[in-house]
Amino acid sequence: MQRSEVSAPADSETLRPAAIRHAQRHLARHLAALSEFCAIPSISADPNRREDVAQAAAWLAAQLESIGVRQSRVIPTPGHPIVYGELAASRPGQPTVLVYGHYDVQPDGPLEPWESKPFIPANRGEFLFARGAADMKGPLYATIAAVEAMLQQGSVPVNIKFIFEGEEETGSPNLGPFLEAHKTMLAADVCLNLDAGLLDYEAPTITYGLRGIVAMEIRVHGPRQDVHSGIFGGVVHNPAEVLARLIAALRDGGGGIAIPGFYDGVRLPDETERAELARLPITEASILEQTGVPALWGEPGFSPVERAGGRPTLEVNGLVSGCAGDSFATIIPASALARISFRLVPDQDPELVSSQLTRYLETLLPSTVRLEVKLLAGSPAILGERTSPATRALDRALAAAWEKPPYYQRGGGGIPIVSQMQSILGISSVLSGLAGPGDSCHGPNERLHLPTFERGIEAVIHFLHNFAQS
Amino acid sequence: MQRSEVSAPADSETLRPAAIRHAQRHLARHLAALSEFCAIPSISADPNRREDVAQAAAWLAAQLESIGVRQSRVIPTPGHPIVYGELAASRPGQPTVLVYGHYDVQPDGPLEPWESKPFIPANRGEFLFARGAADMKGPLYATIAAVEAMLQQGSVPVNIKFIFEGEEETGSPNLGPFLEAHKTMLAADVCLNLDAGLLDYEAPTITYGLRGIVAMEIRVHGPRQDVHSGIFGGVVHNPAEVLARLIAALRDGGGGIAIPGFYDGVRLPDETERAELARLPITEASILEQTGVPALWGEPGFSPVERAGGRPTLEVNGLVSGCAGDSFATIIPASALARISFRLVPDQDPELVSSQLTRYLETLLPSTVRLEVKLLAGSPAILGERTSPATRALDRALAAAWEKPPYYQRGGGGIPIVSQMQSILGISSVLSGLAGPGDSCHGPNERLHLPTFERGIEAVIHFLHNFAQS
């Protein structure tokens, strides 16, 4: 599908503000619908929540249907389904925007830190608290609300295709094959993706780079079952201790990663980009405030912004071994598990990093235990165009909704879909978002900032009009 | 109470074999009663099992009552209750044996490795499989069965006091105050304790030394809640990684413990004792077979037997941080917890070890995280008399039941009660047991070897007669 070069219809400048007014007048209804959406515990990682994930997909398809997307449907995959819908532009020859979202959410984790229940959405002050409210049911819903407002004025200015997946939080394992199988259906000029967050509620943000990811499980096996530490302590090597030593050996003395070859593929940001990144409104104090840590940490020679977006990192995401519940048992555990992940930058290769890690661990491993390493998910980093028509349309949309020019950042997280869109469909993505760093996307008390949600709806209306006119 | 110097009554040599025959004839009934006892999930560490622990205490008091211990009762403590009972010797002036046992059990842990359910006792081959069967409901029940058999012949040859606690597996927190409060009631000449196990079913064992223990929790605190590793990876220090580094730093390069001052109080076994220990029927091959590890591990310069009984050790008993369940979440965890314990030898001081560890961790801690260290339990090692009248009585009892002289070992585990009996009541303990190293005392598929159980009953009958005559 080719982009049209004809100018927008004469009424675009009246339809656009009318749609925005419509969305504003219906905000209470949208909030109610979003709360309904957030109440569905669509945790893709939890096999017991399969029905709930399916329910969220059905809810979404019905929602699309209700705003006038007649072709909306739920398409099964070997995992969780994909919700798809299409709308034709009012006039032929308009470009096509693929609107991406994911309706699955992170696990809710331990409940104690939550001030209200994760799946009983609670409106407190300017926020809606719920698992998934920020990541990304709120931003996804904003695209629906924007399109609804435009349809209420008669039509949409560009062709729109919605693709909402249910496995983003588990690494989108079935999305690639789906894209492969539906290339024609999904053909589009650009993908709009609001899963990238913003720097601050007052700092509209375009994310032009994303880190890749490699997620792995490391398991050290010791005795065939837990054994008494009084009887075997001193003769049987403790797998939890071995695991701790392996993890410690992944880091060099100065905060860097000690895996041989790890930095080989790393491309450094150039001086222009470093200067731009230095202007971002992220301060050491703001990170301390958001996280409550006593001091920041990281690789020397790079600013916090560079470390969080432009440098590769290694994180221990989970540890479990032996007596992990409330009770103490004097055992040598049979095994010890670490879940770790790397954030990658251009031009690191996920498969290479995974095999570098495995080789390194094997060289470190004592003969007294056994090692099992699993690659769970991997995707490379991407670095987008900062001057494409779609980026310019998004720039002007954010500037209009926030009344200030947007910031350009490299995102710290990875979004596998963005690289798959590019490599499989040849579609580049423009990335923004409505979740701020304090919104606890993967933690307890996740929340959506409602004034930002409202601006988001407005920005989507602007973007779709801008892209039609551009 | 003073030991009597008069000789045993003329009929001792007929009563003793009669009692043994009685016990043998009633073995099926004993096995049924023991199964009933093992079916009660008396996990002292689990607050949800409080009622079950109380039920086990009630069952035990009823059992004592049924064999003729009229004074049996359940005495409450601030934790789980203590079951107590008394029997007078047939003749005055006889010594008093305090029979110790614990009716609580270890947690059952993950259920998958269990071939039958932990609290549905299953008789397979020569074994009774159940949590607690070996540690130590079986050995405890053997003392009751022995006394029952003796009472069926008319009387017991020594005064007997039963003390059965319900908190051994959680470090006996309420036993010390109980002993303090009941010194007169508990006065005795020796304590018989069958919680120390044996080297092999064919190797009756007297444990003359026990390692002490220090159990601690180390928690590293990072961000106030779990945060997104894509956003904060590279700027927020990962508490799970810091914990791993701290654990790794506890060990020196060669398998020793790196905590400054840790070895200061350690007394080395002398050459005579090392020579005796070298004769124990424990081989590297037998340990490999029991545990399934690919190779043994430990401090250089000491044999496996010395390392497991005569040297202090450090174990990581549990680890938990971040995504510890089935699902993967790309987070920096808010905190990371390690449960660790040290096995101590004479003359290490538990409190000193605990403070040495805390100080050492504090010196290692980076300023980017916070540390919390808790001492959960501690007791010093003990080293008993190998030539006392009680040890000689036990030696002859084991030799009679097994038809071979017993081995003398230093035990790897700690039994806090043994040091408390000594320090609070001035009563020394003689230690043996019926659980072999393959009986998975703290692991899945715990089992009791029934022929050993039967020999145990016989040995207790011999011991009580021997101690009266000695």
**Segment B56-112, tens digit of pLDDT:** 999 999 999 999 998 799 999 999 999 999 999 989 999 999 999 999 999 998 899
Pairing state between β A190-193 and A429-431: parallel
Name the minimum distance, in Å, from the CA of B1 to any CA of chain A: 34
Distance of alpha carbon B209 from alpha carbon B153, whole angstroms: 35
Residues in chain B, pLDDT under 50: 1-8, 10
Q: Is A278 within 8 Å of A310 (Cβ atoms)?
A: no
Nearest to B233 among A226, A315, A319 (CB): A315
- In angstroms, the separation between the Cα of residue A413 and the nearest Cα of chain B is 4
Q: Are A287 and B323 an interchain contact pair (Cβ–Cβ within 8 Å)? A: no
* B223: nearest CB among A291, A411, A441: A291
Length of chain B: 470
Which of B226, B292, B297 has the CB atom closest to A442's CB atom?
B226
Q: Which of residues 247-276 of B touch A (CB under 8 A)?
A: 247-249, 251
How far does CA A438 lie from the centroid of its chain? Answer: 15
**pLDDT at res. A11:** 64
User: Do A234 and B299 count as a contact with CB atoms less than 8 A apart?
Assistant: yes
Q: Do B107 and A313 make contact, defined as CB atoms within 8 angstroms?
A: no
Per-window interface: B 65-104 vs A, CB < 8 A: none
d(C-alpha B297, C-alpha B274), whole Å? 19
Inter-chain contacts counted by CB atoms under 8 A, chains A and B = 372
CB–CB of B229 and A43 under 8 A?
no
Q: What is the pLDDT of residues B10-62, one digit of tens each?
A: 467 889 999 999 999 999 999 999 999 999 999 999 999 999 999 999 999 99
Return the closest-CA partner of residue B413 out of B118, B136, B83, B114. B136
Q: Is B437 on the interface with A (CB under 8 A)?
A: yes
Judge whether A233 is closer than 8 Å to chain B, CB to CB.
yes
Question: Chain A residue closest to B43 (CA)?
Answer: A327
User: Does ipTM come in above 0.85?
Assistant: no
Q: Please, how many CA atoms are within 13 Å of residue A236, restricted to the half-sphere of its CB?
A: 35
Interchain contact B325–A (C-beta under 8 A): yes
Residue pair A449/A434 in contact (Cβ under 8 Å)? The answer is yes
pLDDT beneath 50: ranges in chain A: 1-8, 10
Per the CB < 8 Å rule, is A109 touching B329? yes
A411: chain B residues, CB-CB within 8 Å = 230
Partner-chain contact B319 A319, CB within 8 Å: yes
| Chain A, nearest residue to B230 by Cα | A413
By Cβ distance, the residue of B236, B247, B411 closest to A241 is B247
Q: Does A349 touch chain B (CB under 8 A)?
A: no
Write down the pTM of the prediction.
Answer: 0.76
d(CA A227, CA B113): 13
Put simply, whether A398 touches B (Cβ < 8 Å) is no
Neighbours of B372 (CB within 10 A): 11
The tens digit of pLDDT for each residue in B410-425 reads: 877 777 789 899 989 9
B445/A225 Cβ within 8 A:
yes
pLDDT at site A5: 44
Please enumerate in sequence order all residues whose Cβ is within 8 A of that of B264, keeping only pairs 6 or more positions apart, or say none. Answer: none
Within 10 angstroms of residue B429's Cβ, the number of other Cβ atoms is: 23
Helix H, strand E, coil C: the string for B341-367 is EEEECCCCCHHHHHHHHHHHHHHHCCC
Q: Are A336 and B319 an interchain contact pair (Cβ–Cβ within 8 Å)? A: yes
B229 in contact with A, Cβ within 8 Å: yes
* Backbone dihedral angles phi then psi of residue B261, each to the nearest 5 degrees: 85, -10
Residue B335, classed as helix, strand or coil, is strand
Do residues A198 and A432 touch, judged by C-beta distance below 8 A?
A: yes
